Amino acid sequence: MKFSNTYIGLGEHFFQRVLPQKVPAPQLLLWNVELANSLFIANKWQSDAQLLSQYFSGNNLPNGAESIALAYSGHQFGHFNPQLGDGRAHLLGEVLDKSNIRRDVQLKGSGQTAFSRRGDGKCALAPALREYIMSEALYALGVPTSRCLAVVSTGEKINRGLAKAGAVVTRVAASHIRVGTFQYFAARGDLLSLKKLLNYSIERHFPQLNNEKSSDEQRLLSFLEKVMAKQIILIIEWLRVGFIHGVMNTDNTAICGETIDFGPCAMMGDYDENAVFSSIDEYGRYAFSNQGKIAQWNMARLADCLLPLLIGFIKDTTKENDNDENDSEQALEQQALTKIEELIHQYTTKFDEAYYVMYANKIGMNESCSVSKTLVDGLLAIMQKQSLDYTHTFHQLTQSLTDSEQAEQLKSVLGGWYATWLSALKQVDVKPKQNTIQIAQALMAKNNPVVIPRNHHVEAILTRCEEAIATDVQQLSPFDTINSIVGEFLRVLHSPYHELDGTEKYQDAPADGNSCYQTFCGT
């Protein structure tokens, strides 16, 4: 791996230099070969499990790595905390992948930092495995996400109410710059650092904005617009597959538009727009249907941070124009606020457009129109009222176009909606001699998975892994033991739009409809 760390160039107050805490007996449990290959990790490394366990537990650092913990703030369930930061994570550095995209490589659960806030800095085995499984599932489903390179057990017992096996998970992301990173410097009135962060973020994620003809003002507004667009794409993809993040705090909102932090996440079974599974989301702030609104709220918090910079850029432009009668300070501030607010207010229209296009695709229609919107709203209302399984219903709809038995079942469940939908599909305007039903089914098959990482299967596998690692006498190595438990599940999840041998084993809905299911933060 050829490490660099461009983030360090921003200055010492952006991070803390700190080494991971050494662990007594690291053992490699999961290794992502496909991701490793994309990061140019040498084959001789990948064949040495002992070497990998040392590097990705934090006991040794790879050549070129410089371990740091990142500083950031965040709104947690609406309440602002001015200093959060990586309390149990260490960024080793950055590598270029095969697509020439710069990726962060970060250890999580690797010990305390200055930002630990009395936490132990550790991660239990089950949350580490959950992050690996869920991030790989989302990646295969086509959802923007960070990914996991490795899970290493540490040989420690950590206190989570009960003694739990410890582990370190290696996370790979386009970056770990968050809305909370901007908030950290905005809260301190540090406009110089804020400007550095803005320029760095543009250079790393949106270099096309560095146009010589663009003013600082235009670059800032375009940056906010592009970050907002990435958030819309992300949330729409979550909704498409029934993913509920569970803790959409601003410190968990990456400006690169990837899913990060898989602690309290869950998948929706029976459709419920108010579905919440996180044990700490007492008031449903991050419920399934609220995720779009919360993303807008988070973007508004990013806009708050950028507003002082925008005011400064407008002032500079005014001075350059050398107007005799400069606008008053208050007028310039209002001008900046108006421009920011116009962008944030555009979110609702853009989100709604993307929302209805996504659901139109799920019911086999290429674009959103009044007919498709009516059909979508009607179907979701039926699903809500009858508590229909989200994934099963859309998969059955897809199959029903060529399976008469499935069609008859759905007619009895969906009533007149089914006939109205079928009629609408047949009236879609397509090129001559093309079968509209076949076109619709192909579109639906791309957007409606046949299998998702259902909560009860994830929990059952995590429990089996915990029990296996806790067993003193093992016939297999820890790596072989864990892979024997999760291997088939991961193989099925890597092909979520196709039925494989074994897919059916993981398609069943839970007997209780997830009515008692809860998820918890890894801390």
First to last CA, the chain: 30
Residue type, 289: S
- Which pair of structure tokens corresponds to residue 65? 């790595």
> For 390-455, what is the HEC assignment?
HHHHHHHHHHHCCCHHHHHHHHHHHCHHHHHHHHHHHCCCCCCCCCHHHHHHHHHHHHCCCCCCCH
- As a whole number of angstroms, the longest Cα–Cα distance in the chain is 84
CA Rg value for the chain: 24
Yes or no: say if 272 and 387 are a contact pair by the CB < 8 Å rule.
yes
Residue at token pair 């001789």: 44
- Which pair of structure tokens corresponds to residue 431? 């090129």
- Which pair of structure tokens corresponds to residue 334? 């209002």
Q: Which of 73, 83, 81, 92 is nearest to 17 (CA)?
A: 92
Q: Give the Cα separation of 134 and 462 in Å (integer).
A: 12
- The interaxial angle of helices 291-320 and 179-187, nearest 10 deg, is 50
- Which pair of structure tokens corresponds to residue 506? 């993981």
Handedness of CA 291, 297, 302, 306 (dihedral sign): positive
Q: List C-alpha distances in Å: 83 to 80, 181, 187, 269, 410.
A: 9, 10, 9, 36, 52
pLDDT at res. 433: 54
pLDDT at res. 324: 46
Q: 502-517: per-residue pLDDT in tens?
A: 999 999 988 877 766 7
- Measured in whole angstroms, the distance separating CA 81 from the mean position of its chain's CA atoms is 22
Handedness of CA 3, 131, 60, 112 (dihedral sign): positive
pLDDT at res. 77: 92
Our answer to whether residue 251 is catalytic in this structure is yes
Kindly report the number of other CB atoms within 10 A of residue 86's CB atom: 25
Question: Which residues of the chain carry a pLDDT beneath 50?
Answer: 324
pTM of the model: 0.95
Cβ contacts of 36 within 8 Å, gap of 6 or more = 46, 149
- Which pair of structure tokens corresponds to residue 231? 């958030």
* Secondary structure (3-state) at 287: coil
The pairs formed by 76-79 with CB atoms below 8 angstroms and a separation of 24 or more are: 76/249, 76/251, 77/249, 77/280, 77/281, 77/285, 78/285
From 104, 251, 261, 270, the catalytic residue: 251
Residue type, 48: D
